[in-house]
Structure formats: structure tokens, C-alpha cells
Structure 1
Amino acid sequence: MAPRIPAHIRDQIDTMLRSGARINDIVAATNTAYRTIWKLRKNLQDFGRVTRPRMKRSGRPKLIVETAEQVKLLQFVKDHPTAELDDMVQFIRREEGLVVSLATMSRYLKANGWPQRATKSLAAKTSAQPKAKPAQGPSHAQTGEPQNLSPPSGTSSTSFTKTAIACWKLMTSDLSPVSLFTAEGTEHIRQEDGSPNGEHYDPLREQHARDTSNPGSVFEPSRSHSGTKTGRYKRSDKTAHNPGMKAPLWVEGDEKGIVAFDQ
């Protein structure tokens, strides 16, 4: 590498060296170090100039250099936007007999300013589109039909179905929860059902039948915060220690009626 000296002094040294002047005379005339003059003379002998020629940029040699190869590869990418690097490598090997690696193909695409493969953009567009939801039938709230529920363990299907129908009638009517189990509420539901025999599910009647068949249940009265008389059926010790005896329902009641709940 040539010493860093001003351009006009380097041109003067070049002229004096070509004219055959001695190194001591050039040092005295240009006020430059003897070693600098010696390096410039060696460059003149080796390269024909006082400065070394610039070295080529170091790096990997280009494998895809022909214009025809570039045009074919670009056309292949346009015709096959979702092609992977493997497909491009096989295309170049099949068409031009050029063996390149996946890394070489990737570097070549980036060096030429080509965008990323269209697979990413297509995937982004696909994910951005709203997905179609599966078709669903009308809900029970829209149709006005009671929802079919499976009875809990320990409850008969008939009792559970009747209880569900009574609850549905309560939600669709203007009656209060307490008046549902009074005479007025029972008559209202019986008229809506239109039963030919005039019978309707009565939770008090079913609870009375269960209490009669199960003497272990005891009704313990108590008072609520509002002063209304309430009570709850509880298992007696006989029922708790006898696994074969059927346990009664938990029942809450007040002065107007008793509401039965399955435990």
C-alpha cells in the first residue's frame, strides 16, 4: 500500500523516478522519507505506477451470472409465486445445469432486490379474511321452545321434565316465582297447557308423596330477615346412617307456597 502523501508530491516523485533521479535527490527535493520513496519506486517497477491497484472486493463468487439464467429464474418466480427455494434450485439445475445451494439462491434473490416469496403474503391475506362460521339453527330463546336438558343424578326423568316445563312457564309468563306455586298460578298454567283432564304437575303434591314414603325427613321452621316464616327439610340421623333410605328433596317455603329444589 502506498504511503499517505499529498497527491501533488506523489506526482512529483513519479516524474523524478521515471526520469532516473536518485533516491537521495528525491528525498532532498520533496522532503519525504527515504523508505517512502523506496516503496513508491518498487510499486513503479512491479505495477507500472507508484500506487498499487485496488484489490477486488472479497466475498463469495457469483454462480448465477449469465443474463439468460437471471431472466429464466425471474420468469419462473413470476409464473410460480408460491414456489419454494427447492423448486428454484431444481429449476436452475434442470434448465441450465447449474448446481447451487439453498443459501446461494436465497442470497441471490436478496441481492437482486426481489421481494420475499408470495407464500407469506398469501398466508397473511388468508389469515386476515374472516372465517366462515358453521351454520347453527335458531336458539331456544328465538323459537320459544323449552331447552332439552338431561336430568341430574338421583332425579327421575319425569320429575325433571315437569320441573323444567314449570320453570319455562315461569320465565315466559308474568307471574312471580311465589305465585307460580299458588292456586292462581297453578290455574294459569293449567289453562295454558290445555290438558283435557285438567291435571298439572304440582311440586307440593310430589314433595308430600316423597315425605310420606320417607319418614326420615324433618321440616324445621325458621324465620327469615323479613319476618316471613320459612323452613327447610333436612335429613334426620336415621336417613344419614341408612344408605338404603331415599333422601328427600331440599325444600324452601314461606307462607304463600313452598318451592322445591333438587339437592
Structure 2
Amino acid sequence: YSSGGTLPHNTAGGIRHLHKTFNENERDLYNDWWQEQIFQFGTEVDFYTSNYSLTGHDSLYGEEPTREYADPIKMVMALELNESAIVLNQFGLVGDDEITGYIAIDTFYSQLSTDTVSDPEPKSGDVFKLTEYGSLDRIGGRDGKIFEITDRVEQDVSRINPLIGHYIWLIKAKRYDYSFEPGLSAEGASDQVYDDSRSGLLSGYTQPESVGKKYTDDVQLQSKEVFDYDDYFESNDDVYGGYN
């Protein structure tokens, strides 16, 4: 070893267990162990890759308006799901789901590598759906929750790097707020209440036009059942009162 190189032995002459030339077999065992744990105790998800492009980024709006999602790829992830996590932000207390996922690096390569990208990585903006957890036995038309990745690392020595090896991706994600982006659909039974009968996608694009919603209930009709001002000409329902 040249001066300044990595020394194979410690000062007492013993072999250094973290020397990567000597612990390659042990790191291979850890790599196999991680993959086995994920496949045994993980759950199947649909993974949607975002095609976000910096060249298409709109600096004024802070987004890429033509971003789309690729067709989903099925893979197995080990998950730590914290449902209805209470978070305090500038808008007050918010109950939002948080999730931490573990994906084997080799698995991610084998599932998502292409001729142009041989070593893909999960990135912020990618989305995954808990298809297996939310399938078959959920009631009321509900299905798997959808999460958007906010952070991903392959190095956290206290959690995922025994023998200072790199085996898995540790990702963190937040519940996805559906915004009609191409390639994704809203979670099942997540109908929103709109102030108008029109909301969603307009006609003339690659995605089908959203179906309008009409609500027959009306607050004015409901209030008339309590007291109908029109039946009493002397009544005054002006919010500012009346003047004599």
C-alpha cells in the first residue's frame, strides 16, 4: 500500500473488519439478507416513475407543467407506515400519512433499468401505490393509498449500512395529493365536494374530460323548511337588518 492508502491492518497487526477488500463475502451475505427480509415481510406496490425534466421546468410557477408518469412497475417494498400522523405546520395541526420504505438496490436496477439508464434511482416526485395492502378486502370502493417520494438515501450507517456496505434504498414519502397529472388516477372512493358542478380536466387533452358533479341539495331550500321568509311579506332577511 502506498503512502496515504487504505491500511489492511490495524496498529496491533490484526485485520480490519471494515476493510472492503477483505469483507466482500460478508457484505454479499448482508445484501442477500436485506433482499430476503424485504421479500418475506414486504408488500407489493405499483411504482410510477416521474419524467420530470429540468428543461421543461417553469420557473414562474415552480413546476414542470407537462410532467407525466410512466406505466406502473410492480415491486416489493418493506414499509413503516404511520397513518394519520399529526404534524404542526403554518396552517395548524394536519393529520397526514407518512411512510418509510426499503427497496433493494439490485431489485430496483432489475425492475427499472433500460438501455439508456442502466442504474436508475428513486427520486423525489416518483409515486407508489400500496396496491396489495389496499386491495381485495377494503370496503366502500376504497383501494391502495398513494404516496409521493420526498427523500431517498442509500447511506444511513445507523440503520442500513452494516459493514459500511450499500444494499438498499431508504425512501421517505408523503400522502400524494391528486392533481390530475397524466399517468395517475385518484385513490378509490376519494370523491371531493366541489362548490361547482364542474371540476377537474377539461376537454381537448390526452386524458378524458372529467365527469361533472351536480348536487341536488341546496342550503336555501333547506333553510326554507325551517322558516320561509317569502311566506311572510313583513319579514326581513337582509343580513344588515332594516331601517325605518
Q: TM-score range by the shorter chain?
A: under 0.3
- Compare CA radii of gyration and give the structure with the larger one: 1
Structure with the bigger percentage of strand: 2
Q: If the length of structure 2 is used for normalisation, what is the TM-score?
A: 0.23
Greater RCO structure (CA 8 Å; 6+ sep): 2
Q: If the length of structure 1 is used for normalisation, what is the TM-score?
A: 0.21
Structure with the bigger percentage of helix: 1
